[in-house]
Amino acid sequence: MPPTRDAALYDVVGIGNALVDVLTNGDDGFLLRHGLVKASMALIDAERSEELYHAMGPGIEQSGGSAANTMAGVASFGGASAYIGKIADDQLGEVFTHDLQATGVSFSCLPSPIGVPTGRCLIVVTPDAQRTMSTYLGVGELLGPDDVDADLIASGKITYLEGYLWDKPEGMAAYRKAAEAAHEAGRRVSLTLSDSFCVARHRDAFLDLVQSQVYVLFANEPEITELYEVTSFDDALQKVRHHCDIAALTRSANGSVIVAGDEVHVIDAYPTNVVDTTGAGDQYAAGFLYALTHDMPLDVCGKLASRAAAEVISHFGPRPAMSFSTLLS
């Protein structure tokens, strides 16, 4: 990392949709009957959330939210991370706050008192270990620039943002304020494209961001090909390599590719027994960002990212089940 004006308090500050996941097992027939597209994330309203929850089998609740998962992963490595996201003054808000703080992430956003509940993500895990997500954002969709503490952003080496934020105008404004605050403080901005449907919804905005603001871009294969409207991974790779400083492109079982101008690393997936792919991308980003903010070379960043992703997909749930710091030895 290049030197910045002041010593950073945090390695990474994440901003995203604060969600509690409700995980259940289901089969392809369930997805079909309820019009769900496998392995994607769809936004749903309160009514549809009720409907779908009613149809779902018994669940387990576990704190989630893409960027929050990533911050939990950074903390699990022993990194200093903080999180910004909007929760309500309700039981799911308490659960979210408890779990995030218990992982060692700094989280001090006050619960919103307006009566809109904390967001939840209904996740159906199919026997092929894919997860299909339906998100009711709840109060999370009101996350706006007022929720972004510019001093906190300035105190992190890298600010990490979810593409999902672009689904709501207030979220976009929050994103812009955060990116500005980071750049003003001489810090870096990192973006995950989140979901290929999300990319399709906001392609032009993302293309512009990647070129003008993003130091590290995270994307999986469907997302990066969707961004550049190409059909092959290699075509996307050639497009992105001079478009942002660093791109970390994940390809599920086929591993990942790290590209930074002329530097290219092809990293194998770390072998594991796949139980539930929820959190794979989130923990990949955690490993990468931890390593990057600790001045490790890009190939090591990729390898640590793969280790973290392998751990999280070997069990149910989107956050580490062991201390990632043991992966460092």
Smallest gap from Cβ 89 to a copy of itself, in A, equals 12
Residues 72-91 that bind a copy of itself (CB under 8 A): 72, 90-91
Give the CA diameter of the chain: 55
Smallest gap from Cβ 41 to a copy of itself, in A, equals 21
Of the pair 94, 149, the CB lying nearest a copy of itself is at: 94
Strand, helix or coil for residue 255: coil
Smallest gap from Cβ 78 to a copy of itself, in A, equals 16
Site string for a copy of itself, 52-71 (x = CB under 8 A): -xx-xxxxxxxx--------
Residues 111-150 that bind a copy of itself (CB under 8 A): 117
Helix ranges restricted to H, the chain: 28-33, 46-55, 66-76, 91-102, 150-154, 169-184, 196-201, 203-212, 221-228, 233-240, 280-292, 298-313
- Cα angle 292, 68, 92; round to 5: 170
Asked whether 308 and 320 are in contact (CB, 8 A), the reply is yes
Smallest gap from Cβ 154 to a copy of itself, in A, equals 28
Name the helix (H) or strand (E) containing 20. strand 19-25
Asked whether 233 and 223 are in contact (CB, 8 A), the reply is no
Asked whether 252 and 281 are in contact (CB, 8 A), the reply is no
Residues 182-241 that bind a copy of itself (CB under 8 A): none
Of the pair 18, 292, the CB lying nearest a copy of itself is at: 18
Taking CB under 8 A as the rule, does residue 259 contact a copy of itself?
no
Binding site for a copy of itself (CB under 8 A): 53-54, 56-63, 72, 90-92, 95, 98-100, 102-103, 117, 316-317, 319
